[in-house]
Every structure is written in structure tokens, then in C-alpha cells.
Amino acid sequence: MLKNLGFKIKRNLFPVITCSLALIILLIFLFSNNGIDNLRKLIPQIQGSWLLLAVATAILTMLLEGLTLHLFCRHLYTGWTFGRSFSVGMTGLLYSAITPFSTGGQPMQIYAMRKMGMDTGKAGSIIAMKTLSYQVIMVTYALLFMCLQLGFFIQNVTNLAFLTVVGLITNAAFIGLVFLFTISAKGTDKILHFLLRWLYRLRICRHPLRRYHSIHQQLSMFHDSSKLMGRSWKLYVPVIILTILQISLTASIPYMIYRSFNLPAENVQLITMLAAQQFVMMVSAFVPLPGASGGAEGSFLMFFRTFFKNTITPAILLWRLISYYLNILLGAVFSSWGGRRYTSEERISALKVKSKTEG
């Protein structure tokens, strides 16, 4: 019994350390700038309906994550069920939250899909195209809001984060390379060699050859995955619509928290807060800690202080609880549920997974 307890502790040690670190950083923000006093004063006037709406919105984004993934899965496997897709989606949210740079989400999703009876190669293709689709839509979405609201944040945010612009350019450049690679692999290689050579001369990239192989491998993976998935508009149009809805709902959570504080609605526009959340996401993407701990709170403070003013610290607390810790809690529950429900030999046999390409 003690052996089993020791094994469980050791197996869950990293998530526990991750959550503890994120919680410590959150508490530091809470205890600074009179956060506790402001929270105590704010509690009596909080409107529970807006706060419940924020929580419901976060849960709805999880369902949309599972539904978008399900569209890709059903495209290749007609016998795949939404329960499997939702469980895999929650697994991705869980491991993205507890690993540095959100690197653990996609591998663990592929592993979970394989355990449920899906071919590893096709599971990898599904996750690759789901990730690429999300990145393309998110960057386009962020660029749009940057064009619409950049002037406001330049005027109201001190030292507008340079990382925001760098993040957009970096993501947009990689997406451009992926699409260019599908048209001409040789031409893309020449451009990649040229760029890395100049970055090496400018002493920005220390190991250009290693970086080239890493980028080329990712480009090849996306290229092979797109060939397997095909170019059906019946697949990608619903994916685009659902992803835009998911990103919009996620970005609207700070606005709902703002309204729950009973602050003047006329002082802020929803579109401005949606833009602020996109800036926060771009900055947080560069933070290597799990859940972008420290960077997420700091960037939220930077871009939302102009709206929340002296209630910014309680806002950070509620935002992180709803948008981060809820992912960990429900991700752990539904990942475990899916692992128990869909990985038995009987379930895998009953699935009779069949690829459309084989059919």
C-alpha cells in the first residue's frame, strides 16, 4: 500500500509542483498592491450572475475544443464518438496547462487517441492540422484586433510590450512558411537557409543548422498531415467558425469579470477588451513556465489595469481561476474519465475504427 502511495505521489509530483508554483505567483500578486483589502471591499458588490456567466463561458470553450477536434476525427474515423474527442481535448488542455511552453498537450493527446484505438500516424495528423488551424485563426484574429485597437493601447499602456509585436510576427512568419512549403518545398528551403544564415550573422541564431532541421521537420509534418486530411471545405468552414467562436468567448471572460465587479459599463467596450486579451496571449506565449505563470499575470496587469484600476488584483485572481485552474481541474477529471471509459479492449473492439481513405 505504501509502495502504491509512493508511486502515485511520484507520478503526480510534476503537476503538483507546477500548480503550486502558479499558485504562489498568483498569491504574490494578490498580496501586493493592497490586493487582499481590495478583494474584501469588492466581495459584497460582486454580481454573481456575471461571474457564473464567465464560468459557463469557460466550460463552453472546452466543449467547443472537443467539438472542433471531433470534426477532424470524424473526417478520418466515422466510428469515433464525441465523448472520445472531448476527453482528448480536455487531456490537451490539462497538459498544456502544466508543461513549459504548453509543449505537453499535443503529445499527450496523440498518446490518448492511440490508447483509444486510433492509428498513431493519423492521430498525429489530426492533432497537427487542429493545431495549425487554431494558430492560423488566432494570429489572423489577433492581427485584426491589433489594427483596430493598437492606437488605444499605445495611448493607455505604458511601454507597450514589444513581445506582442514579436509574437505576432513570429507566428505569422511560421504560418506563412507552412503554406509556402505546401506550394514549393525547395523554394521554402532556400528561403529558410537564407533567413537562418542572416540571423546567424546577426548573432540572433547560434545554431542555424539545428534550427533548420527542427523547422523543416515541423513543416514536413504539417505538409504530410494536410495531404492526409485533404482540402474539404465541408471540414474547414465549420472548424473556422467554431474556432473563431471559441477564441472570442475565451477573450470575453475578462469583460464578464469586469461587469461582475459592478463597474461602469459605459467606460469600456467589449471589442477593446477582446483586443487586450489577444495582447495578453501574445506576451504570455513567450513565458517558459507552465501556464505562463508570472507572464500571464504581468501582461494582464499591463493591459487591463486601465479598465479595472484599483480592482485589477482581484480581477487577476478570478481570471486565472476561471481560465487556468478550471482547465486543470476539469482536464484532470475528464482525462481520467476518458482513460477509464474508452481504453478497454472491449471498447476498442466495439469501436471498429475505419478510415474513410481505406473505405
pLDDT, tens digit, 9 for 90 and up, residues 10-22: 556 666 676 777 7
**What letter represents residue 158's amino acid?**
T
**What pLDDT is recorded for position 84?**
95
For the chain, the first-to-last Cα distance in angstroms comes to 49
Reported pTM = 0.84
Mean pLDDT by 10 residues, the chain (359 residues): 46 66 74 71 88 97 97 90 96 90 84 90 89 90 84 74 72 78 75 78 74 76 73 88 96 96 87 91 78 84 90 91 93 92 72 49
**What pLDDT is recorded for position 352?**
54
Unique residue bearing C-alpha cell 497538459 = 95
In the structure grid, which three cell numbers stand for residue 338, read together? 476518458
114-121 long-range CB contacts below 8 Å, 24 or more apart?
Answer: 115/339, 115/342, 115/343, 116/84, 116/88, 116/338, 116/342, 116/343, 116/347, 116/348, 116/351, 117/347, 117/348, 117/351, 117/353, 118/73, 118/77, 118/80, 118/353, 119/353, 119/355
**What pLDDT is recorded for position 350?**
58
Residue ranges of E strands in the chain: none
Q: How many CB atoms lie within 10 A of CB 231?
A: 9
The enclosing H or E element of 353 equals: none
In the structure grid, which three cell numbers stand for residue 190, read together? 532556400
Cα(160)–Cα(254) distance, integer angstroms: 19
Taking CA atoms, 250 is separated from 103, 243, 244, 325, in Å, by 20, 10, 10, 14
**What pLDDT is recorded for position 3?**
46
**Angle, alpha carbons 223-140-102 (nearest 5°):** 65
**What pLDDT is recorded for position 29?**
72
